[in-house]
Amino acid sequence: MHYTLHQLQIFLKITQIQSITKAAEELHLTQPAVSIQLKNFQDQFPIPLTEVVGRKLYITDFGKEIALAVEKILNEVYAINYKTLAYQGSLSGRLKISIVSTGKYVMPYFLSDFMKINSGIDLFMDVTNKARVIENLELNEVDFALVSVLPNKLKVNRVELMSNRLFYVGSSDLKFKGTPNKKKLFEDLPLIYREQGSATRNAMEGFIETNKFSVRKKIELTSNEAVKQAVVSGLGCSIMPLIGIKNELKYGDLQIIPVKGLPLVTTWNLIWLKSKKLSPAASALLEFLEKQKEDIIKEKFAWINNF
């Protein structure tokens, strides 16, 4: 057999995502390039690694076994690289963080300078919904998780990063005669929800239930970006985190509509399992945040105080 590390990396990514197209996007390669490397890798085995059923890619049982071996091989390769850097006096390692989708407007700013200082660290950041983030943490698949609501069933340590405020927002084209009442905002206008498992949705539903609002027209979308674009287009209104709508407010595409009881305020927390033995890279990040957190907030998020 003459497979390459490049083929191993591509095959492992395909098994994790079960999509050649998405694997190509994450690896910053073209889809044909990924398909060719998968074929070249497959040609070295007499048993199929993958199969396509109804246009959907599946990993065979044999393919799953090979994927486990591939992951071990790549981890050993990474270990060699990290040990080399360590002997050269550089901090090294892999840093894995799982963040809720709205956290993509927050976490990169707390990581940027840290990654520049520590070029020997490889960063893997999974952006998904709250349910999956908590699952990643519980299964010990990541070093840290970024959440705005702490999990109830896990024993975790945390670093508070910054506040997270949610407002009722609508398209700037939406006009009212006088101050809109709750019937107009929650019964007459379509309300756009995030998907089940989203912390934003949970907060939104909690607010509606507490205030006994009746929602008649409900739309569900599966990402904060999708909700934002739907609101901008006039499809409906929503309760959204301020952190994700900075540009839309700046350029007048969205408006914040005053509602009694809003904004809802939570806190962005970087959390990790109490039982977790932190790697040198993970410990270094915590030390960095302790020293730099307030400066980052002042420099990157001062605009929030205007709302």
pLDDT (tens place) for every residue of the chain, 307 residues total: 788 999 999 999 999 889 999 899 888 899 999 999 999 999 999 999 999 988 889 999 999 999 999 988 988 887 777 677 665 556 778 899 999 989 999 999 999 999 998 888 989 999 988 888 999 999 998 999 999 999 988 999 999 999 999 999 999 999 887 778 877 888 888 999 998 888 889 899 999 999 888 887 789 998 889 999 999 999 999 999 999 999 999 999 999 999 999 999 999 999 999 999 888 889 999 999 999 999 999 999 999 988 8
Crossing angle, helix 61-87 and helix 5-17, to 10 degrees?
A: 120
| Burial of 96 (C-beta count, 10 Å sphere; 0-12/13-18/19+) | buried
| Structure confidence at residue 85 (pLDDT) | 62
* This prediction's pTM: 0.70
**End-to-end CA, the chain:** 61
| Burial of 247 (C-beta count, 10 Å sphere; 0-12/13-18/19+) | exposed
Q: CB of 164 within 8 A of CB of 266? A: yes
- What is the DSSP pairing of strand 144-147 with strand 93-100? parallel
Q: 151 CB contacts (<8 Å, ≥6 apart)?
A: 134, 137, 138, 271
